[in-house]
Amino acid sequence: MATPSDHLAAAEREAARIPGLANGVQLRPIRKVGIVGAGTMGGGIAMSFANAGIPVVLVDTTQSALERGLGIVRANYQASAAKGRLTVEQVGQRMGLLAGSVDDAALADCDLVIEAVFEDMDLKREVCTRLGQVCRPGAIVATNTSTLDVDALAAATGRAPDVVGMHFFSPAHVMRLLEVVRGRETAPEVLATVMQLARRIGKVAVVSGVCYGFIGNRMAEVYMREAEFLLMEGASPAQIDGAVESLGMAMGPCRMLDMAGIDVGARTVIEYGKAGGLPPDDSYRAVVRRLFELGRFGQKTGSGYYRYEGRTALPDPQATAIARAMADAHGIAQRDDIGTPEIVERLLYPLINEGARILEEGIAYRAGDIDVVWTAGYGYPADRGGPMFTADAIGLPEIVARLAHYALTRGDRYGYWTVSPLLASLAAEGRRISDFAGGRA
């Protein structure tokens, strides 16, 4: 078995290879990029292109929103200059590559247009419809959605072969990962162009097929699901976070969602429910939905799973009381015997199991792609090689046995602990998850 570092280096190289894509595909030239939405994500994406010397036009609905977004970009560049990472001249050069407009017509000469508006299906569909009309023939239309149906958004444009998902991670000008989502009708040259463009702007790109949450957020959903059940059973946020942080995770699930925004996480669950994707389980993600209802959005409001003094997370008895109230409302018994080994298994093993499902469904091409996503985008420790590499290191029979244990002890009414057929078959055959040669994506 390779070392974790050798595995990840090889996996990053392999992630750039798209099975079934003919050699010599004619790439579409990308000389100018348009971005719809001048918020935090849109501004970060704009910086990624400006940093690579590519002109960008940012479009938003109001002049004030546009000026606010461009002001944040300028402040970010000036902060880098203050730390000696950029010269004043470089700040001026990069800002000179950025233009702003409140008129969609400014996108008409762009080679690539990325929508980066709020994560709401109706809003994104409306924006995609507009882009289908305003973008020139041959321009690539991309959506930055983190969870929503790329095929549905592609259909809204009326030009689905030109459409691809480009899921940047926040802050977009810092995070290396780019999930490139291949729609049902995405043209091969569009996919190849975006993969090459990712390298040009310094990103490591991984191709995903279309499903809820793609690779990373689909797996993160089962991770957060189990973290919330542990909370309702009596574990504290600090206990849960500490268990996985002791393995080297950059941040535990509660701290991570507090930083990303509980409002963002809750709305994602709500949108998934609208699409019919949630199990018929009233207790599913009950804590995050209740925190959202109470306006506890995490760091930005000073309280979420924790309370905050500045950026310092502190235990919050109110959050504990909320989790207990949700447990009582849903008939979940409180326990005082939850230890670190159980927390680690209940967070990590469903994550691995979902990764196996993603492989068997053809959403990811290979196990190494999943490892790249989680180490480059979700803080999984590189010295453990990623969740699928970890699965092989632990041994698939052990993981299957422990999933079966939790199905028996916790119940499996909604399939939370049902073992992936791929994982079960590989374990029975004494093979590794890295042995699986998938396809599709």
Q: pLDDT of 245-282, one tens digit each?
A: 999 999 999 999 999 999 999 998 988 888 888 899 99
Q: Give the separation between CA 170 and CA 18, rounded to whole angstroms.
A: 25
Long-range contacts (CB closer than 8 Å, 24 or more residues apart) made by 89-94: 94/47, 94/50, 94/51
Within a domain: 123: yes
- Angstrom distance (rounded) from CA 303 to CA 291: 9
Structure confidence by residue, pLDDT tens digits, 315-336: 999 999 999 999 999 999 999 9
CATH of the domain at 412: 1.10.1040.50
Residue 11 lies in a domain: no
20: left (phi over 0), alpha (psi -120 to 50) or beta: left
The pLDDT assigned to 43 comes to 97
- Of the candidates 217, 153, 151, the one whose C-alpha atom is nearest the C-alpha of residue 179 is 217
Return the pLDDT at 435. Answer: 85
Mean pLDDT calculated for residue range 287-302: 96
Shared domain check, 410 and 323:
no
Please state the pTM of the whole predicted model.
0.94
Return the amino acid letter for 26.
Q
Same domain, residue pair 158 and 188: yes
Q: Which residue has the higher pLDDT, 440 or 430?
A: 430
pLDDT tens sequence across 47-97: 999 999 999 999 999 999 999 999 999 999 999 999 999 999 999 999 999
Assigned domain for 134 exists = yes
Please check whether residues 175 and 232 belong to one and the same domain: no
pLDDT reported for residue 274: 85
Report, as an integer, the average pLDDT of 33-42. 96
Are both 193 and 298 inside the same structural domain?
no
Classify residue 8: in a domain, yes or no. Answer: no
pLDDT in tens, 383-405: 999 999 999 999 999 999 999 99
Contact 242, 293 (CB under 8 A): no
- pLDDT for the residue numbered 179: 98
Using CA of residue 343, residue 347, residue 348, residue 349, what is the dihedral sign? positive
User: What per-residue confidence (pLDDT) applies to 20?
Assistant: 84
Tell which of 299, 329, 359 closes a domain: 329
Q: Are residues 262 and 137 in the same domain?
A: no
Residue 17 lies in a domain: no
The 10s digit of each residue's pLDDT in 210-245 is 999 999 999 999 999 999 999 999 999 999 999 999
Residue 221, domain member (yes or no):
yes
| Per-residue pLDDT tens over the stretch 86-128 | 999 999 999 999 999 999 999 999 999 999 999 999 999 999 9
The domain boundary residue, chosen from 305, 329, 353:
329
- Do both 114 and 175 map to the same domain? yes
What pLDDT score was predicted for residue 24? 82
Are 175 and 75 part of one and the same domain?
yes
Summarize pLDDT for 412-425 with one digit per residue, the tens: 999 999 999 999 99
The pLDDT score that the predictor gives to residue 275 is: 82
115 beta partners: 36, 143
Q: According to the model, what pLDDT value does residue 441 have? A: 54
Looking at the structure, do residues 56 and 96 belong to the same domain, yes or no? yes
Chain centroid to CA 81 = 29
Asked whether residue 311 falls in the same domain as residue 426, the answer is no
Same domain, 58 and 164: yes
- 134: domain CATH number? 3.40.50.720
% of the chain exceeding 90 in pLDDT? 92
HEC per residue, the chain: CCCHHHHHHHHHHHHCCCCCCCCCCCCCCCCCEEEECCCHHHHHHHHHHHHCCCCEEEECCCHHHHHHHHHHHHHHHHHHHHCCCCCHHHHHHHHHCEEEECCHHHHCCCCEEEECCCCCHHHHHHHHHHHHHHCCCCCEEEECCCCCCHHHHHHHHCCHHHEEEEEECCCCCCCCEEEEECCCCCCHHHHHHHHHHHHHCCCEEEEECCCCCCCHHHHHHHHHHHHHHHHHHCCCHHHHHHHHHCCCCCCCHHHHHHHHCHHHHHHHHHHHHHCCCCCCCCCCCHHHHHHHHCCCCEHHHCECCCEEECCEEECCHHHHHHHHHHHHHCCCCCCCCCCHHHHHHHHHHHHHHHHHHHHHCCCCCCHHHHHHHHHHHCCCCHHHCCHHHHHHHHCHHHHHHHHHHHHHHHCCCCCCCCCCHHHHHHHHCCCCHHHCCCCCC
Residues 290 and 415 in one domain: no
Range of the domain at 404: 340-435
Which of 329, 353, 377 is a domain's end point?
Answer: 329
Number of structural domains (the chain) is 3
Is 47 within a domain? yes
What pLDDT, on the 0 to 100 scale, is given for residue 311? 87
The model's confidence at residue 23, banded by pLDDT at 50, 70 and 90, is confident
- What's the CA gap between 30 and 160, in Å, rounded? 19
Q: Do 38 and 97 belong together in one domain?
A: yes
Within a domain: 374: yes
User: Residue for token digits 């492989």?
Assistant: 359
